[in-house]
Structure 1
Amino acid sequence: MTTTPTRADATARRSGGPPFASPRRFAALLGGLASALLVVVVLAVAVGAVPIAPGTVLEVVAHHLGRSGGVPDPVDDRIIWTARLPRAVLAVVVGAGLAVSGAVIQAVVRNPLGDPYLIGVVPGAGLGAVSVIVLGASATAGLSLSAAAFAGALVAFAATFLLGRQHGHWPPARLVLAGVAVGYLVSAVTYFLQTIATPNQVTRVLFWSLGSVSGARWEQLPLPAAVVLAATAGLLSQGRRLNALATGVEMAGALGIAVGRFQFGLMLVVALMTGTLVAVSGGILFVGLVVPHVARLLVGADHRRMLPCAVLLGAVFLPLADLLARTVRAPVELPIGIVTAALGAPFFLWLLRRGTR
């Protein structure tokens, strides 16, 4: 059965606009991405050193959810439920959270290169984690690696916002410069710690800095999942105001938005969410930078549509990247940041070439 194109679809095609900007196509895109997410999660659990049939994956999950009376094979059950599924779920959560964080940061700083690195959150988390790895927990008042990474992220965020503040709000250019300065300063300390680290510690630092979800456990998932769910729901509700902010501080103020308070609230939510995610997965590159641009290409710059698209794209992209990271050189596992950077850099070169044309 064929459907009749709507007037919005026809207008979008004639104007050369985003292919999924119309309401009908946007709804179809979200449905397609949600279906792709289910397929990707099953694929990420089924593929590995021990291949498992997708049907078995679904049976094990149904058994643990109380939807099936059959008892799965103990080996399959352990591989799926204990090892692979928590890893896939954490990748979904981290991908979605980093994607929406990047989209919001790009709107606040009005810079297409905006991502969690730009406001110092990821470098700060790296300093906290490296301090624990190299100097031990005593150097961070007894904090664990994840807790130290979270604390470092918030301290760096606070420094960026204190330096970037001017007359009660945060001009985009000043905020970017403050974030870059804080990031370089924090990174300098991190690099110094690496020079006094042992070879084994350097390996741990490198793997953490490039990110991994290999250590995922069910007991670790509730906190990041709850933070991402709550933060994303709050950010999605601000789509109209984000549109106004993206047009400029003056325009947003003219529309009655308390710009300084709104900027601070947005970035605080983003910093808390990103700090939580980096604490459990390390510094995964390019997700918050690339995914929002893909979403804009598909649905346009309207944040009411771009943010939901970015969330689903990030949730699909990172499990796929993790699958490549653990299979491309099996049995050796690559840090996931290598894969995301290898995929993200060519995309930006394509964007540059497209913009030149």
Structure 2
Amino acid sequence: MSVEVVTPVPTRGRGTRIAVTAGALGTALVAVSVVSLGLGQYALAPTEVLGVLLQAGGIDTAWAPDAPTAAGVVLDIRLPRIALGILVGAALAVSGVLMQAIFGNPLADAAVVGVSSGAALGAAASLTFGLTLFGLWTTPGFAFVGGLVAVFSVYLVSRSGGRTEVVTLLLTGIAVNAIAGAGLAFLTFAGTTSTREQIVFWQLGSLNGALWQNIALVAPLVLVGVAASVLVAKRLDLFALGERTARHLGLRVEALRILVIVLVALLVCAAVAFAGIIAFVGLVIPHLMRMAIGPAHLPLVITSALGGATLIAVADLIARTAVPLADLPIGMITSLVGGPFFLWLLVRTRRRAGGWG
């Protein structure tokens, strides 16, 4: 007698909730981007912004302002900044989804466990020592190596008996952040004035100075990382059943975990190399999306990418406009939101686990 195995599918209500969430996030992202293109020291109306964009696409319209300065501000200053923010936000949010899946821990995040700091250390080393081994890819390459070393260190130390210990994960993250911080301090001391400014820029996190040539490097890394995350998302659902069950179902657990770790390093290095350390995006967004649509990883990856992009777009808008004639660090803004959220999540996790002891 054969037994038919039925694969569970999302209910209609859940599918609708996913579609509504994704649609709302996409709409919010477009709206925030248009508003951000118009706000600033050189203010433009939304119709003027659309006119500039249409004119850049070869469509003549009466909406475009006559002053050539408007096109320069929108196309050469604000648009690259928004595009970089969208890529960085998507990369950090998806990396958070991946880390929480492979560690089986809601507290896992690239910044919390030191992956962002490791990537920043690698990028800072390449500039401080003037390395040009791979041309324009040198800084992202060293950021990738630094992030990879950090995430493998966390993985090897925090694993025990086939599971990830919460306390060990957090303590390992503290240690990795401390080591990377010491390395960044040394490079700040040993570097030139120019490299010191860039190291400070990484530590604070900012999209100031975004250029199209930087986006040309970041975009392929993020797109490949997110696409690969979508491809492995359904297999990550099996981690929730436990590693032993996942192995019985034919999943190559260790191979998948190593692949995901590499993807995390790829996504984080792409973000850190050109935007610096922007904390808590990978912690906050996946949890909010999980509360909204459930734990299935395929829709979680997609909505988290949209949510992370939207969060960074909003944070950048606040950073540019909150204080006149000033540009606040984005890392500070995301930490103001993510810090209290992390404390709440830590307390909730401890209560559910009955204490760490």
The question of a shared fold, defined as TM-score above 0.5 by the shorter chain, is answered with yes
2:138 — aligned with what?
A: 147
Which position in structure 2 is the counterpart of 1:186? 180
Contact 1:124 1:149 in 2 (8 A): no
Output the amino acid matched with 1:24: T
Match of 2:298 in 1: 304
**Structure 1 residue 284 corresponds to structure 2 residue 275:** no
Q: Tell me the residue number matched to 2:40.
A: 48
What is the percentage of aligned positions where both structures have the same residue? 35
User: In the superposition, relative to structure 1, how do residues 153 and 231 fare at CA in structure 2: closer, same or farther (>3 Å)?
Assistant: closer
Q: Cα–Cα, structure 1 residues 29 and 153, in superposed 2: closer, same or farther, change >3 Å?
A: same
* Alignment equivalent of 1:252, drawn from 233, 246, 249: 246
Counterpart secondary structure, 1:314: helix
Over 3 Å counting, the alpha-carbon distance change for 1:79 and 1:190 in structure 2 is: same
Q: Does the CA contact (< 8 Å) of 1:99 and 1:288 recur in 2?
A: yes
Establish whether residue 38 from structure 1 lines up as the match of residue 38 from structure 2. no
Q: Indicate how the Cα distance of structure 1 residues 219 and 264 shifts in structure 2: closer, same or farther if over 3 A, else same.
A: same
Q: Name the amino acid aligned to 1:154.
A: V
* Alignment TM-score, normalising by the size of structure 1: 0.82
Q: 1:100-136 deviations in whole A, cap 9, x for unaligned?
A: 1111111111121211235643222222344466xx3
Residue of structure 1 aligned with 2:237, choices 230, 233, 243: 243
What amino acid does structure 2 have at the position aligned with 1:158? V
Contact 2:107 2:345 in 1 (8 A): no
Q: C-alpha deviations, 1:150-175, integer Å up to 9, x for none?
A: 414414513652784599x9853499
CA contact (8 A) 1:126 1:149 kept: no
Q: Deviations over 1:12-56 (max 9, x none)?
A: xxxxxxxxx711122122111111111011011111111110111
Kept after mapping to 2: 8 A contact 1:146/1:279: no
| Counterpart Cα distance in 2 of 1:97 and 1:163 | 20
Check the 8 A contact 1:125/1:148 in 2, yes or no.
no
Letter in 2 for 1:34: G
Among 315, 331, 341, which residue is 2:335 paired with? Answer: 341
* Aligned amino acid, residue 27 of structure 2: S
Q: 1:24 aligns with which of 16, 26, 44?
A: 16
CA offset at residue 289 of structure 1?
1.4
User: Match for 2:205: what amino acid?
Assistant: G
How much does 1:319 deviate? 0.7
Q: 2:148 is matched with which residue?
A: 157
SS at match of 1:301: coil
C-alpha separation in 2, matches of 1:276 and 1:308: 18
Report the CA distance between 1:270 and its aligned residue.
Answer: 1.8
Question: Is the 1:210–1:285 Cα contact (8 Å) retained in structure 2?
Answer: no
Assess if the C-alpha contact under 8 Å between 1:150 and 1:278 holds in 2. no
CA distance in structure 2 between the aligned counterparts of 1:180 and 1:348, rounded to whole angstroms = 14
Query: Mapping of 1:1-357 within 5 angstroms?
Result: 22-68=14-60, 72-73=65-66, 74-117=68-111, 120-131=114-125, 136-138=128-130, 140=131, 147-148=138-139, 150-158=141-149, 160-161=151-152, 164-165=155-156, 172-173=164-165, 176=169, 181-195=175-189, 204-351=198-345
1:185–1:313 Cα change, 3 Å: same
Residue 347 of structure 1 deviates from its aligned partner by: 3.0
Question: In the TM superposition, what whole-angstrom CA distance separates every residue of 1:169-190 from its partner, at most 9, and x where no partner exists?
Answer: 9853499476654443232222
Aligned residue pairs total 336
Gaps of 5+ in 1: 1-6, 10-20
Q: 1:43 to 1:306 in 2, by over 3 A?
A: same
Structure 1 residue matching 2:279: 3-state secondary structure: coil
| 1:131–1:326 distance in 2 versus 1, CA, 3 Å | same
Q: Specify the code of the residue in structure 2 equivalent to 1:105.
A: M
Cα displacement string for residues 255-310 of structure 1 (whole angstroms, at most 9, x for unaligned residues):
11001100011111221121122111111111111111111111111212222111
Matches of 1:290 and 1:233 in 2, distance apart? 21
Letter in 2 for 1:267: I
CA shift, 1:223, in A, is 2.7
The aligned amino acid for 1:244 is L
Cα deviation, residue 231, structure 1? 1.8
| Distance 1:159-1:341 versus aligned 2 partners, 3 A rule | closer
What amino acid does structure 2 have at the position aligned with 1:205?
Answer: I
Contact (CA 8 Å) 1:146, 1:280: kept in 2 or not?
A: no
